């Protein structure tokens, strides 16, 4: 569908989003305004703001934890990109994945969580929510509309992540969201992989979208932060939980988040093109059994990727042939010179990991067979040469 003639293109939106020259004193970006105490004009102002919190919409700023002008600029940008009505930022990605769940769950409730969910989010559901009397049931990520069969009278929340960031199964998010709506169940998604550029879940019927902004949004491996963006139906509940639990991301972090948004698409385009070169090379290697990347035309997730996503992401996995031993594979990993052996992704630098983690619906051993690769902004041929020399050492081990 073509956009209306007077609506700016995505690159223009990204370049200008969050701009507020009044709040910034004329600077392009609103600087990091950090503070705790707000001085009120007089008692009418003080009680007016208090009343807004007690009886009104709760948007009046009374204290530093409400966030300041830098937060507002970043939130406005995220709302625009995701098509949401409200955004809140948290001090880590994991906090953004977990805290908003409390807005919808209470003792005796049942929730459905993708088996491919980010490991620490899984742990929160399996341990902490269980302690509070909430039952988390895990579903196979390719279940699609079949999720209807798992919904119970006490199901309150479905938590998706598409694709999971180790095994990369794409989920039929619109189909799952449609089932949830029919049953009055709230849906949440960890959309970190897609970023707000490649997929906007709220436009496909999801209620709450989370991003670990630590990854692509901040984009330089120097910030921990997340965002939650909500639709009209869920925003007040989520905001109330954020405030009641004292969630706050520093002004410096949200400043860097807003700065990251301005270059997000350019970075994604570059990383996507680099990744395609590396994937094409890996596909030709006899040492490699399988490459798992939703943007690869023969990947099982490709039809959904093609339907829902606007472009590729630089995170994927591959498996070595079964005849390579653990020792050989570790030799490969240890021989890499340019790839960093580290958690995370979405920065400017390439990273690699041997995956691990728990699965209760799918094959529990599958994770250990995955080499997870993140391709950054380096020259792709240098990264290919690095993989090549490490494979030579692996064969000789
Ligand atoms: C998909 C996904 N969600 C959430 C997180 C958590 O983000 P953070 O590391 O900022 O806590 C991660 C981190 O790796 C992730 O990959």
Does the C-beta of 94 come closer than 6 Å to ligand 1? Answer: yes
d(CA 94, CA 119): 10
State the pLDDT at residue 30: 96
Higher per-residue confidence, 5 vs 198: 198
State the pLDDT at residue 181: 98
What would the mean pLDDT of 85-98 be, rounded to a whole number?
Answer: 98
1 has a pLDDT exceeding 60? no
Strands (E), 54-165: 86-90, 110-114, 135-139, 155-161
What would the mean pLDDT of 100-106 be, rounded to a whole number?
Answer: 98
Does the C-beta of 190 come closer than 6 Å to ligand 1? Answer: yes
**Mean pLDDT of the residues in the chain:** 96
Does the C-beta of 163 come closer than 6 Å to ligand 1? Answer: no
2 has a pLDDT exceeding 60? no
CATH 3.90.1150.10 domain locations along the chain = 266-396
Supply the CATH classification number for the domain 10-33+68-262: 3.40.640.10
What would the mean pLDDT of 100-117 be, rounded to a whole number?
Answer: 98
Does the C-beta of 253 come closer than 6 Å to ligand 1? Answer: no
d(CA 261, CA 63): 27
CATH 3.40.640.10 domain locations along the chain = 10-33+68-262
State the pLDDT at residue 53: 83
Q: Could you identify the atom of ligand 1 that is nearest to the CA of residue 192?
A: 1
Q: What is the pLDDT of residues 120-155, one digit of tens each?
A: 999 999 999 999 999 999 999 999 999 999 999 999
Among protein residues, the one with the nearest Cα to ligand 1's atom 11 is: 93
State the pLDDT at residue 387: 98
Beta-carbon contacts of residue 308 (< 8 Å; ≥ 6 apart): 170, 173, 174, 199, 204
What would the mean pLDDT of 66-93 be, rounded to a whole number?
Answer: 97
d(CA 201, CA 138): 21
C-alpha 212 to ligand 1 mean position (Å)? 5
End-to-end CA distance of the chain: give it in Å, rounded: 54
4 has a pLDDT exceeding 70? no
State the pLDDT at residue 367: 86
Q: Could you identify the atom of ligand 1 that is nearest to the CA of residue 193?
A: 1
Does the C-beta of 97 come closer than 6 Å to ligand 1? Answer: yes
Q: What is the pLDDT of residues 240-252, one digit of tens each?
A: 999 999 999 999 9
What would the mean pLDDT of 3-7 be, rounded to a whole number?
Answer: 73
For the domain made up of 266-396, the CATH class stated in words is alpha beta
């Amino acid at each position: 569908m073509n956009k209306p003639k007077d609506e700016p293109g995505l690159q223009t939106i990204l370049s200008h989003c969050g701009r507020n020259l009044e709040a910034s004193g004329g600077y392009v970006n609103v600087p990091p305004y950090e503070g705790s105490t707000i001085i009120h004009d007089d008692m009418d102002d003080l009680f007016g703001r208090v009343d807004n919190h007690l009886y009104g919409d709760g948007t009046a700023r009374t204290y530093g934890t409400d966030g300041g002008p830098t937060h507002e600029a970043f939130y406005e940008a995220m709302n625009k990109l995701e098509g949401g009505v409200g955004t809140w930022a948290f001090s880590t990605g994991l906090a953004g994945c977990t805290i908003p769940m409390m807005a919808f769950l209470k003792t005796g409730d049942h929730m459905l969580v993708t088996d491919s969910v980010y490991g620490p989010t899984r742990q929160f559901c399996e341990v902490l929510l269980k302690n509070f009397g909430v039952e988390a049931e895990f579903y196979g990520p390719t279940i699609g509309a079949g999720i209807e069969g798992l919904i119970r009278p006490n199901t309150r929340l479905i938590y998706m992540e598409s694709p999971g960031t180790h095994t990369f199964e794409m989920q039929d998010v619109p189909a799952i969201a449609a089932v949830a709506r029919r049953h009055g169940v709230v849906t949440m998604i960890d959309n970190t992989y897609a970023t707000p550029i490649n997929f906007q879940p709220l436009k496909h019927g999801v209620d709450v979208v989370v991003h670990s902004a630590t990854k692509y949004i901040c984009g330089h491996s120097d910030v921990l932060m997340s965002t939650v963006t909500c639709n009209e139906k869920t925003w007040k509940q989520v905001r109330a939980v954020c405030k009641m639990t004292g969630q706050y991301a520093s002004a410096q972090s949200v400043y860097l988040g807003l700065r990251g948004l301005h270059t997000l698409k350019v970075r994604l385009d570059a990383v996507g093109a680099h990744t395609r070169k590396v994937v094409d090379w890996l596909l030709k290697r006899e040492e490699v059994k399988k490459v798992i990347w939703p943007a690869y035309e023969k990947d099982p997730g490709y039809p959904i990727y093609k339907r829902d996503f606007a472009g590729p992401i630089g995170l994927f996995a591959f498996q070595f042939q079964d005849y390579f031993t653990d020792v050989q594979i570790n030799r490969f990993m240890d021989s890499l010179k340019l790839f960093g052996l580290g958690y995370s992704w979405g920065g400017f630098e390439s990273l690699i990991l041997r995956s691990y983690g728990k699965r209760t619906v799918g094959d529990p051993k599958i994770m250990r067979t995955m080499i997870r690769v993140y391709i950054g902004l380096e020259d792709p041929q240098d990264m290919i040469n690095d993989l090549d020399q490490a494979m030579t050492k692996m064969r000789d081990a």
